[in-house]
Amino acid sequence: MSQENVEIVGRFVAAWARDDLAAAAELAHPEVEQHPTVGGVERGRVLRGVDEIRQDYERVEETWDEHRVEPEKIIDAGDRVVLFQREFQRGKSSGVELEIEAAVIFDLRAGRITRVQGYMDRAAALEAVGLGKQDA
């Protein structure tokens, strides 16, 4: 099942990157939860359901002149999958550019993504899924 989970996350990431939110939504449980990024600025705010996550994503995208995410590595952790990614952002009004190396943990059940949690610290994401600090 874990290789299947890696493939599901890979398809999800590819769909999201090409802005095919409908295809990405098909890979997520209808009541998927997105938790705030550990080490990020938002705390305690949990988004529930595909529509709420999509609406939040669209709202956030309005603040960036450019925002792209490049997946770097997908790591099998059984019912959980860790994605290492690099994010590039440029603020619309400020012009400030950011480049961030981050991680995302995807929890899966019955072939669907049920929970998403970002991490600013890749090693912390690996520790959260019980893999230690390999290749962080």
- Could you tell me the pTM of the whole model? 0.87
Class (C level, CATH) for 2-128 = alpha beta
Going from the C-alpha of 118 to that of each of 10, 93, 106, the distances in angstroms are 16, 25, 9
pLDDT of 28-42, one tens digit each?
Answer: 999 999 998 887 666
Give the distance between the most distant pair of CA atoms in the chain.
Answer: 45
pLDDT in tens, 35-61: 988 876 666 688 898 888 878 777 777
Angstrom distance (rounded) from CA 101 to CA 69: 10
- Dihedral of alpha carbons 128, 70, 52, 36, sign: positive
